[in-house]
Structure formats: structure tokens, C-alpha cells
Amino acid sequence: MNTEENQLIASTTVAADYLRETEIAEIEHERTLYPDARAVGLEALKIVQKHRGWVSDESLRAVAEYLRLPIAELEGVATFFNLIYRRPVGRNVILYCNSVSCWIMGCEQVKDKIAGELGIDFGETTTDGNFTLIPVPCLGDCDRAPVMMVGPDQHRNLDRADLGAIFAQYRKGKE
Amino acid sequence: MTTMTEKTKVEIIIDDVAYQVNADSNLLQECLSLGLDLPYFCWHPCMGSVGACRQCAVKQYRNEEDQDGLLTMACMTPVQPGARISIADPQAVDFRAGVIESLMISHPHDCPVCEEGGECHLQDMTLMSGHNYRRYDKKKVTHRNQYLGPFINHEMNRCITCYRCVRFYSEYAGGVDLAAQAAHHHTYFGRHEEGALESEFSGNLVEVCPTGVFTDKIFSERYSRKWDLQTAPSICTGCGVGCNTAPGERYGELRRIVNRYHSELNGYFICDRGRFGTGYVNHAERLQQPQDAEGKTLDAETAAARLREIAGKAIAIGSPRAGNEANHALRKLVGEANFHGGFSAAEQACMDEIVAFAGDPAFHNPSIREIEQADAVLVLGEDVTNTAPRIALALRQSVRNRAYELADSARIPHWQDAAVREIAQHERSPLYLFATGATRLDDVAEASVIDTPSGLARQAFALAHRIHADAPAASGDGGGNAAQLDQIAEQLAAAKRPLIVAGAGNGQVELIRAAGNIARALHKRRGNGERKPLDLCLLTGEVNSMGLHLLIRPENSLEAALEKLASGEAENLIVLENDLYRRAPHARVDAALNTARTTVALDLLPNRTTAKADLVLPVTAFSEQQATYVNYEGRAQLAWQVHRNHSAARPAWQWTGEFAHFREALHDCAVSAPAMARLVEVLPDTSHLPGGGKLPRQPERYSGRTAMKANLNVHEPKQAQDPDSALAFSMEGVPARRDATLLASPWAPQWNSNQSISKFQDEINGPLRQGHGGALLLERGAGGGFHPVPEADEATGIELTPARQIFGSEELSARSEAIRKRMSDAYVAISPGIAAGHGLTHGAAVSVRGEDASITVLACVRGSMPSGVAALHASDREIDFHGLGARVSLAPAAGDAAVALDRGLGELIVSDLAQGS
């Protein structure tokens, strides 16, 4: 049975961008954890995004060809998940919660402040390439709402926080 | 979807009425089988239930006393004996109204400019669910549409996210380039980037989509509403399968083809050649008047008289693309002894063998429905996707029988589509392919045996011997891999319903004989306990290849006809709907045509044969005439005339003057050809028609009748008469409201879309109430024996085999504008090894030299092909394929030769184009 390798029936093979050795090594590790290539698709996209910041059309094609998955199907996976970025993002992605608890605690006003501070709205990236602002439904920290993530870090009680100082540390120190 | 045999019936109560329904089904399917109106979207009769849309909610009660009940999705609820449900319950009605309202939130108000309008399942269900006022006043979600190629329009804003398109396109038909993108309210169904949809079955999206997201682009360019189209039941003439279709005509133009349900053959789906390949009917170059050799127009009577005048000393060559009546009339005109087949020598040999096997009681030639039930399949050499595409779609379903077995063991009903797929994962019933390279079925195949055609035949003979020792052995396993052949033999022998597929498509008679040996070996191995005939599906090339073969004497081949002419034994020649240059070496055709005193060609478009004829008689196209055709199973089917041809073109049987009426021609054919005796059974029983009356081809709402010719004459012309059938070129009369064998455009109150077909079926997926279309002609007679293994061929050189393409290999569809946009140019497919050895690169011009001919085509370098074979595709180029002989040599052609082959190879969809191409 063809369980290991999916076969494609179509001629979707066009010379694609290549995957780097480190990416391939990580994808191959994931492959050992799943029964088939299709299941590895999402992990492979995350690996490429980790290394390149986002998933370009070329990267998508490279992953699809490497795993021998239909590219349309992999695009379905990539676009299903909000946190797979199919457009370039800034060096720091701000995931800003605008769900119920944060809304009660005034996230809309805070968001206006952030927008003022950075000069961007949801879905936009600052001109210096430092920040991209994206809404998320919940970050699991409702007792300290409103909350956001900047890169890997959670920031809480934003209504009382010094937003300027928070963003400053990412501008300078963590580039 | 699965077997139709021996269904257990149980009683359930729907809205206080007791009904007998199938026990192994779901409530939605049974409600529809009973003719009840219950709205739905995501369910499809061929694809089962997934419970995605929530539109088919009903109330189910626990028992007699239960007054409250529970809302449940009918499509996801199994039938239980004694179940009590309600469709009319106010809560259920209210729930369904809420569902449709939310589905419709972003749906545009564009019905007046939407091609689906008037035959839209979404319109029907919206009305049925009582949603007639939009309360939502916020911004709608809008999408960007994609270019999806020359066949299909994309309008994503109309989508209601039922997922039927991807369930058909990728899960049912195996396409990989259409998928659901994104999520929530911005879910999008499209390709990863713009481009032609690759699947050979993409056109079915037009009918599968319940609204106007995917529409027929060809039809859209010359559009009419469903109710403005004149239609009649027809048969697709694109290959030898004989799918049932419903062509639609307006203003004298054939506007579109849609599927017409046939429970044993095409079911709900046809291929893209069938749907988009009939544009040639409207071709500007259609022959309209009889012409002599100088191109001078003759009047019809003079021309017909000349035909009869020369017939006395003429031989005639029939046509596998013409109906039985045309072939028979010509046969009658010149006499049986002078009537020849119009097959190439290779195809004639294949057809002789196919017809011989068709009479063997050890075998059964399965319908498509039966093919879907095979639990182990071997395809021998035939590139089914390109020669009989609808069969390839059926083979793709056959591999799912393993999934149904697993589902049975877990007590999952077969209609639980997602669950059945989930439990099966990658488990499939075995499908083995013997091929000269990668095919479009590889993704569902257990394994492919790749070899040259003669190598495949030797391996196949060896396989037969491994299955049963009585089958003659091929030396050294025919060069095959013994372990692999053993595995195939075991799987086929272990199967409950094995199926062997071969065909005339590649002109290799030894492959057909080998297929016979394998099937016979399997049949013998079953022993005396079970003598059920074994499924042996032998595909015929064209719509009436089988019918033509049944009308000719064994010795009356095309080769013999050319010989009779060249030797002077015959004086004149009559050619019926056949371009002889496609069938025989050009030099031999030239010799015959040059020697013949008078050549008469009957055809609908000019070709190389009509160009050489002394008299050309224009004939009607398939939709302009009534005819019967015999498919690969030996099933004769009637194609009704849909519309009239306004030129001097006539059906060929009329030109001969042998018969005054179609029925006479048909009856005489049945009487005078023993194998055609049952042909009369295809004629409909019209005894029940009111007042012996005529049935209208046009719907009641047909508009413009008095106005459509007012620019020519303000007086309304008399309605044209149809003396040859029970149908009228009119909107008057009582439509065949209950009989879809007479009504090509099904409609039922509240059901304007094609989904109304359920109102014409015995039960969902069952036969139409009036029975199957067609009559199986062939009687099984005496059994045959094993064929000997052919002698190994000592010849050197590269073996030549034809490469078929769904778009381009069939003569008439290749002259349709839409198909031409998807055709590649003429090419010869070779292995990378041969290419390197001859200094050839992919896409470069190559000179192919054979016995009596030398041609120039493009080199197509395919990584999966074995060395020693060249697969030649002629496309629409005037290539002397038969002049090349069995072996060829290759050489790079002059540098500028590729310029003339300007179609290129870009439209080819194959998985093994060599790297760097």
C-alpha cells in the first residue's frame, strides 16, 4: 500500500524554491512522528515560517513538492490557520486579543493607543518593519485582561501598562 | 454508491403516514426516494452524507407518546424500524428557515445575471424553506474570482460553503488542484493560483455546485435560460462508453451539454470531452450543400440520384462514429458483400477479438455501475483516462470497496461518507496498471507494471499462467518481475469480483488476447462451485465501433476495401463519415482514391477524404438526427434528434434513399443483421402518451416563439414537423412529466434544478421509473479457449504505439473551439534515455521515421517510460501514423520545425515530465 508516499496525479511540478538543510532536518524529524506526509504538512509550514518569518508562494510550493502533497491542499492548511503567515510580517508579531473578557476590560481603547503608538491598524506592518498587529480571539489570560503577545512574550493588564516602554524594548533589544 | 441488490424494507412514520423504506439508508435519502420535499445542500446521491449544511433538519420522536421530539439532521440519521419523524413540524420548519437565512447572508442578489438562475438548487431550496426576505443589512463578504481555464467560470461570492465541489472534485474524482482555502465566513474554494482545472471531470462542478459558483463558460458565452433551451434525450458521441446526455439548443445553435441520468452507465457524471466537445456542431465550416469535385453546389435531388447511380458498382466504407441506421442504409445500398468496416487494421483486429469475447459465456462485459463494484482490477495497456474517461472515474470508485468492507466490519453505514473515508485511511482495493508510462490513475493504483506494449503482453500472458496452469506459459515470465506477478495473481484470485480491463485504444490485439487469458484463468480457478461469468471490460474506440462491427462481414476490413479499389475489383467508393487518412497509410488511401472512378463522401465537416471526393454529401450531426449507437457493453441506445439542421444536410440513411422513415431503417437493420435483432427494444413505448400525441421538446415556459424569427418575417412560421419520433419541435402538448427517458430536461414542482432527477427515479440511485435506457444486444454463445503466447518479436528499432489524449484524440471534438484550447500539439513521448541517446530535448522537434512515412512532431520526454517505445499523439495534425509501421527511428528535426507545432506541450497533464522541462 502506498501509505508512506502520496502520489500526485497531476503535473504540478514546476521548479520550486528549495528548502534549506536545517528545515529539511526538522521536517524529517516531524515525519517520524506522523503516519503519513499529509499529517506533516502543517508542521512543515511552521518550520519554514520559524526560519523565514512567513510562508511565501515559493516556500509553499517547496514544502508541497518535498512532501509530495497537492499544493492546493497545503494552501488550504496554510490559509485555514491564522498564525501561518502567507504575507510578510514584521520582526515582531503582536497578537492582540479582542475577545469578550478583553473587550469588557477596555481592549478597544488600548488598541487605539497601540494604533497611535505604532501607526498601524489590524493586519498592517509598521514602515520600519518592526511590528505587525493581528487580532486573536483569546490568549487564555482573561483574569489579567486586556492582554497581548509580542513575539513569544505575553503582556498583561495593558490598560495600566506603559505601551511605549513595551514596544521600545522590541525595537532596540530584541531585533 | 454501493450495491443495489436485496434491500431490506422497514416501516417508518413520516408526518403520521406509514412508509416502507430501505433499512440501510438515512432519513433524507429515503424521504427523497418517497418523493417528499425535504431541502438539502451538502448531501449528494453519489457522495453520501457529511452533515455539513444542517438544511435537512426534521423532528424525530422517541415513541408514540413523545409529543416534543428532537431536531435531527435527516441525512445523518439512520433509518430505524418504526421511527416516527416529521418534516412539517413547526420547529423543524423554523429551524430550516433559520439555516437557509444564515447560508444566504453573503449570497448576492444577482439571480437575473447568474447562469444558474432558473435551474438553481439554492433558489429552489430557499423558496422551499420559506426564506423570502433578507433581514441581514451588514456588509457582505466578497471574494476575488480565479481564472479556471476555458471550461469553467468562477464566481465565489455565490458560495454557500456546502463543500460539494471539493468533495466531488478531489474525493470522488481524484483532482488535486481544487481545495477549500481559509475558514469561517471567508472560506474559499479555488486553486492555489489561477489556471485551468486539471481534472478531466471538472465540468461536473457546474452540476454538482448547488448554485452559480462554477458555471459552464462555453454556455455562458452564448447563454440561454434552461426553459429557453430545446432539448431531447441524447447519447454522447465522444467515445465508446455512450454516456447519456441532454444537449440544449437555441436559435439553431447547440448551446450546451449536461449529464442525463442513467443508472447503469454514467449516473450523474460525464467527462469534459463529452460536455465541452460538441462545439463542432456549430462549426463555421460545416458542410451545407452537396458539392462536386470542383466545389460546385448541386441540388439535393441531383446529388442523391448520383449516389444511387454509382452505388451499383461501388463498395462502401462504414463509420464507427455514425449510427447503426446510417451504416445499415449504406450496407443495404451497396449490398452486404460490398460493405466494409472503417477501422484501421490494428483496430479491426482488436474489434474482432473484442466481439469474439463478447460472445463467450465465461465473461461478462460490465456496466459502469458494475465496474464500481469490482474489488480487484487489472488494467491492461489501455490509457482509460484518455480513451474512455468515464470508466476511469468508475475505476477510481472501485478501489473504495475495501473502505466499504472496513466500514461494514465497524458497522458504519456506507452513506456515512466522512466516517467511511476516515476508517479506510489509505486502504484501497487493489488496482494494477499495465502501462507504457505514468497514468492519471497511478495515485489510486497498488502498483504499475511499465513495459513496451509487446513486453506488457508477454508479462500479461505470464500472469495468466500464474493464475491457472492451463493458460500457456510465457518463457521467462515474459521478462516480468516474478514476485510482482505472483502478488497480482494472488490478489485477483482472492477477489470476490475481479475485473480485467483492456481495449482497442492502443491497437495491440495481443493485449486483448492476454486480457482474455487472464480472465479465463481466473474463471477456471474459481472451479465448478462458482461459474459466474468473469468481468472482462473491453473498451471500444468510438461511439458506434461495436455497432459497425456487428454490421460487417469478418473479411470486409478497410484494408480489403482499399485493396479492391487499387486492384480495380471495385469501381466506385462511398465513404460514410470517415476520414480514411486517419485509418490507413496515406499512400494506400491515395492509391485507392486515385484509382476509384467516383468517390462519394458523406460527412459533416471537410477533411482530407472529402477533399478528394467527387461528390460530397453533407450529413447531420449527432444532435440534428435520430440514431442508435452500440457501446462497449453491446448496449444499443437511442439518441433523439434535439434540433433541426437548416442546411441541405440530412442523416446519411436519408441520402441513400433506402428508407423513408427512421423507424424503417432501424427495423430493417434489426431484421437483416442477426446481432442487431434486439435493436427494436430501444424504441420507447409511446402507447401511454395522451391521445397518441406528441411530446414537446421545449418547456412550457419557452419564450420568444412568435418573435424569434420576426426579423425575417412578421408572420409566425408553421412549427416544424417531426415525422420520425414521438417528440415535437414545439412547446405544445403534454410534457413527459414522469418519464425522464423522454424528458431530457427534468423538472418537478418546486424543483427547477437537475436535482429534480430524484423525482424520476424508482429510488435514489435506482433506475428511472421507465427502466434502463438501451438494449443489450449481444448473446453469449459457445465458449472459447486460451490464446497462445505470441512469438517474441525479433525486430529491432523503437516500438511505436499511439498516445491518446482526452482532448485531441477524438476526431470531431478536436474541432471544437473549447477543446482546442486544451489540446497539446502532436508529440512523441519517449524515455529520458532515448531522448539523450538521440540528442533530443523536451519540446524540441523530432523526426519520426518508419516503414513508409516520415513525420515531424515534438519530443515529449517522460521520466516513467521504458526505453524501446515511442508513444505518438497526432493531435489535429495530418500525420501518417499508419504509414510508420510497427517500428520507428528518431532523429532531431531541423531547428525551425518546432515553430509550426505552435500548440506546444503546455496543456499536457502528466506526472512524469522529465526534470528541467
Going from N- to C-terminal start, the domains of chain B cover 9-103, 363-532, 798-900
Give the pLDDT confidence score for residue B772 in this predicted structure. Answer: 67
- Residue B699 to residue B736: CA distance in whole angstroms: 10
Q: Which residues contact A103 (CB under 8 A, 6 or more apart)?
A: none
Find chain A residues with C-beta within 8 A of B188's C-beta.
79
| B843-887: pLDDT as tens digits | 999 999 999 999 999 999 999 999 999 999 999 999 999 999 999
- Neighbour count for residue B567 (Cβ, 10 Å): 11
- Residue B354 to residue A92: CA distance in whole angstroms: 70
Q: Is the pLDDT of residue A3 over 50?
A: no
Find chain A residues with C-beta within 8 A of B910's C-beta.
11
On whether the CB atoms of residues B379 and B534 are closer than 8 A, the answer is: no
- Smallest Cβ–Cβ distance between B179 and the set A6, A36, A76 belongs to A76
Q: Which residues contact B308 (CB under 8 A, 6 or more apart)?
A: B333, B656, B657
Closest residue of chain A to B200, computed from CA coordinates: A10
For residue B645, what is the DSSP state? -
> For residue B177, which of A127, A166, A70 has the smallest C-alpha distance?
A70
Q: Given this structure, which CATH class describes domain B9-103?
A: alpha beta
Q: Do A76 and B180 touch (CB under 8 A)?
A: yes
Give the pLDDT confidence score for residue B2 in this predicted structure. Answer: 43
Find chain A residues with C-beta within 8 A of B174's C-beta.
9
Please identify which residue in the block is written with the cell numbers 466494409. Answer: B340
For B671-675, the CB contacts below 8 A with 24+ separation are: B672/B328, B672/B332, B673/B328, B673/B550, B673/B551, B675/B550, B675/B777, B675/B778
Q: Is the pLDDT of residue A10 over 50?
A: no
Adjacent-strand bridge partners of B315: B573
Report the residue count for chain B. Answer: 917
Find chain B residues with C-beta within 8 A of A57's C-beta.
193
**Mean pLDDT, all residues of chain B:** 94
Residues of B engaging A, defined by a Cβ cutoff of 8 Å? 170, 174-183, 188, 190-193, 198, 425-428, 440-443, 446, 908-911, 913, 916
Q: Do B426 and A71 touch (CB under 8 A)?
A: no
| Amino acid, single-letter form, for residue B486 | D
| B302-356: pLDDT as tens digits | 999 999 999 999 999 999 999 999 999 999 999 999 999 999 999 999 999 999 9
| B509-522: pLDDT as tens digits | 999 999 999 999 99
Top residue of B144, B161, B181, B491 to mutate, by most chain A CBs within 10 Å, is B181
Confirm whether pTM is higher than 0.80: yes
CA B602 to chain centre: 25
Top residue of B178, B189, B192 to mutate, by most chain A CBs within 10 Å, is B192
A9 touches chain B (CB under 8 A): yes
- Residue B542 to residue B387: CA distance in whole angstroms: 9
B363-532: what fold?
Answer: Dimethylsulfoxide Reductase; domain 2 (3.40.228)
| Amino acid, single-letter form, for residue B897 | A
Mean pLDDT of A128-141: 94
Q: What share of chain A is helix, strand, coil (3-state, %, to 5)?
A: 45, 10, 45
Q: Does domain A1-88 have CATH number 3.40.1160.10?
A: no
Q: Which residues contact B152 (CB under 8 A, 6 or more apart)?
A: B197, B202, B203, B205, B206, B214, B215, B216, B217
Sheet strand arrangement including B84-86: B17-22, B9-14, B84-86, B57-61, B70-73
Instruction: Determine which helix (DSSP H) or strand (DSSP E) holds B258, and give its type and residue range.
Output: strand B253-259
Q: Do A57 and B440 touch (CB under 8 A)?
A: no
| B797-844: pLDDT as tens digits | 899 999 999 999 999 999 999 999 999 999 999 999 999 999 999 999
Top residue of A2, A9, A83 to mutate, by most chain B CBs within 10 Å, is A9
- Residue B292 to residue B278: CA distance in whole angstroms: 28
- Smallest Cβ–Cβ distance between B909 and the set A6, A11, A71 belongs to A11
On whether the CB atoms of residues B398 and B372 are closer than 8 A, the answer is: yes
Q: Do B170 and A73 touch (CB under 8 A)?
A: yes
The two beta strands, B854-861 and B798-802, are unpaired
pLDDT band at B689 (very low <50, low <70, confident <90, very high): confident
A88 touches chain B (CB under 8 A): no
Mean pLDDT of A155-170: 93
Q: Do A13 and B913 touch (CB under 8 A)?
A: yes
Closest residue of chain A to B198, computed from CA coordinates: A10
Q: Do B179 and A36 touch (CB under 8 A)?
A: no
Closest residue of chain A to B186, computed from CA coordinates: A80
Q: Is the pLDDT of residue A6 over 60?
A: no
Predicted ipTM of the assembly? 0.88
- Smallest Cβ–Cβ distance between A9 and the set B176, B179, B190 belongs to B176
Closest residue of chain A to B917, computed from CA coordinates: A14
A8 touches chain B (CB under 8 A): yes
Q: Do B909 and A10 touch (CB under 8 A)?
A: yes
DSSP B235-247: E--SSSS--EEEE
**Extents of the domains making up chain A:** 1-88, 92-172
Find chain A residues with C-beta within 8 A of B170's C-beta.
70, 73
| B373-391: pLDDT as tens digits | 999 999 999 999 999 999 9
3-class state of residue A33 by DSSP? coil
Q: Is the pLDDT of residue A4 over 60?
A: no
Give the pLDDT confidence score for residue B565 in this predicted structure. Answer: 96
Closest residue of chain A to B189, computed from CA coordinates: A76
Find chain B residues with C-beta within 8 A of A12's C-beta.
176-177
The two beta strands, B695-696 and B635-639, are unpaired
B798-900: what fold?
Answer: Barwin-like endoglucanases (2.40.40)
User: What is the CA angle B126-B128-B133, rounded to 5?
Assistant: 45
CA B457 to chain centre: 27
Give the pLDDT confidence score for residue B915 in this predicted structure. Answer: 55
Ramachandran quadrant class, B506 (left: phi over 0; alpha: psi -120 to 50; beta: rest): alpha
- Residue B448 to residue B444: CA distance in whole angstroms: 10
Q: Where are the strands (E) in B408-458, listed by range?
A: 431-435, 447-450
* Alpha helices per DSSP H over B673-767: none
Adjacent-strand bridge partners of B377: B431, B499
Give the pLDDT confidence score for residue B782 in this predicted structure. Answer: 85
| Amino acid, single-letter form, for residue B728 | A
Find chain B residues with C-beta within 8 A of A70's C-beta.
170, 176-177, 179
Q: Count of CB contacts below 8 A, A vs B? A: 73
Q: Given this structure, which CATH class describes domain A92-172?
A: alpha beta
